[in-house]
Amino acid sequence: MKGRKLISFLIVSVSLLIWIPAFAHHGTATYDLQHEVTVEGTVKDFQWASPHIWLYVTGTNDKGEIEEWGGETGAPASLARRGWTSHLFKPGDKVKMSGHAAKDGTKVMMITKIQTADGKEY
Amino acid sequence: MNDIRKSGRGTYKQGIITKTTRLACFACSLLGLFGSATGVHAQNSNLSKSAGAKSGGSVPDISGIWMSTPPRRIGGPKDSLLDPADKRKPDSATVVPFLPEAEAKYKSANEADSPSTRCLPPGIPGLMLAPIYPMAILQTPGQVVVIHEFMNTVRWIYTDGQGHPKDLDPTWLGNSVGKWEGDTFVVDTVGFNNKSWLDLHGMTHSEELHTVERFHRRGAVLEYSITIEDPKTFSRPWTVHMDYDSKPDWKIGEYLCAENNKDAK
């Protein structure tokens, strides 16, 4: 996969109109709720566990640098009611992961939407 | 208790919980239980025989799985539970009667310090604020049990008339006793420790916290209010109202916070 562009990194500078209230375990203050980030790449790991499901996506940004982003959402008990399963994503899957990035610049986000290669949105 | 009701414009009227009114409420509850047993509430379609009363009488059925109804309290810094009807309101101090020191402490709180980031329970009413996690209410003789999916937390509310113990060791959820006032289940809780947050944003309290919760079923909706009293944190008692939707097809899922908690410091 070396040399292949895996991630396109976009910052959408619009006010958030759609927000998924996925958290209760902790607040949302660490995330920039005013902006949304979209990362396109390959699933490295999908952690189906409490208190938050984590999805890790890796690839190359528009500067040619390898990046790994982690996205968190609610607990399995809650996401299962929205149709998520522990088998929803697996390493190697192509996805677009959107969410609110951490204010401190670390490459983690609060997920608002996942789009899979077949166009399905979660 | 002179309940604090929220007006249509999102303001609150002041009320006071006194020992006298508490005694009066207890007397009302005894009458309420008696009334229930004699069929006063027979017009209520949600009756459950022997469900919540040790005496075996009929009381309204509030059992089942319930999910908080939008607009929810959690959505941004410092709006939290404070005014569920108007979550745009940015400053909680407009509705919460903080004492000055408590308000300053709240405004400077760091969400990353929340006990829940270490998988500790959010307390009361924090548990009731979980935006995406339901609760199950079980009514059994002598107690009502509330199972919260959030944090896998269980509350025991004793309805057998035992009252609060005289010497309570402080706990995260306190000691809860419940009684029926007419068709409303009233839960009185004391004995809290001072470690929990009342919301997710840093609203701390003292061990003098005292809450009175009211559960009233209206068909598929569970109406809920909580009056919060803590003379070391607030200048007066204050009340928040919220609703829960019945989710008869849902099940309570597993939530084991320590499994993959990345927030612990």
What would the pLDDT profile of B71-96 be if each residue is shown by its tens digit? 544 333 333 444 334 333 334 444 68
What gap in Å lies between CA B62 and CA B53, rounded to an integer? 13
Handedness of CA B252, B258, B261, B264 (dihedral sign): positive
Q: Measuring CA to CA, how many Å separate B193 from each of A119, B202, B257?
A: 50, 15, 21
CB contact under 8 A, B201 and A27: yes
B95-114 pLDDT, tens digit each: 688 899 998 898 888 878 88
B40-65 pLDDT, tens digit each: 222 333 444 444 444 456 899 999 99
Beta bridge partners of B6: B12
The answer to whether A82 faces chain B, any CB pair under 8 Å, is no
The model's pTM is: 0.75
Q: What is the pLDDT of residue B57?
A: 65
What gap in Å lies between CA B97 and CA A118, rounded to an integer? 52
If pLDDT is split at 50, 70 and 90, which confidence band does A65 have? confident
Interface of A with B in 11-70 (CB under 8 A): 19, 21-30, 33, 47, 49-52, 54
What are the structural domain ranges in chain B?
A: 19-259
Handedness of CA B230, B233, B239, B241 (dihedral sign): negative
Q: What is the pLDDT of residue B70?
A: 63
The structure tokens listed for B246 are 């019945």
Are residues B181 and B32 in contact, defined by beta-carbon separation less than 8 angstroms?
Answer: yes
Q: What is the pLDDT of residue B12?
A: 24
Least confident of A31-45, B23-37, B54-68: B23-37
Query: Of the ranges A64-73, B123-132, B142-151, which is most confident?
Result: B142-151
If pLDDT is split at 50, 70 and 90, which confidence band does B152 have? very high
Q: What is the pLDDT of residue A23?
A: 53
> Does residue B187 register a pLDDT over 80?
yes
If pLDDT is split at 50, 70 and 90, which confidence band does A24 have? low
Mean pLDDT, residues A52-81: 90
Closest residue of chain A to B133, computed from CA coordinates: A78
CB contact under 8 A, A24 and B133: yes
CB contact under 8 A, B257 and A51: yes
Instruction: Name the class of domain A9-116.
Output: mainly beta
